[in-house]
Amino acid sequence: NIVQDLRNMIWVINKEEISVTDLEDKLVNLVWKTAGQLGDIYAEVKADFAKEITLTSSQALNLFRITQEALQNAIKYSDARHIEIQL
């Protein structure tokens, strides 16, 4: 987990700007690794953008961390079988 966290931070630190599509890819990977290990939870990321949005590295990291925490909480406390993350 520590190595994965470092990789996520390096991904953000190495770029001044991050497209929301890049963030979506990272979130899909996070969902796949987190919920996929549990087997009985279906989780997905849905995105719908009228245009490409650019985020600062700080914004992208904060959104990633918020989503990571929300996903962990949903798995741990909600007994959910389906988790949907919408961007």
Residue 71 in this model has a pLDDT that exceeds 80: yes
> b vs e for 43-58, b when ≥16 Cβ sit within 10 Å of the residue's Cβ?
bebeeeeeeeeebebe
Q: What's the pTM?
A: 0.78
The 10s digit of each residue's pLDDT in 5-41 is: 666 666 666 677 888 888 888 888 888 888 766 667 8
Q: If DSSP codes are grouped into helix, strand and coil, which group holds residue 83?
A: strand
Tokens of 68: 């990571």
H or E element: which one contains 41? Answer: none
E-strand ranges in 11-86 read 17-19, 42-46, 54-56, 82-86
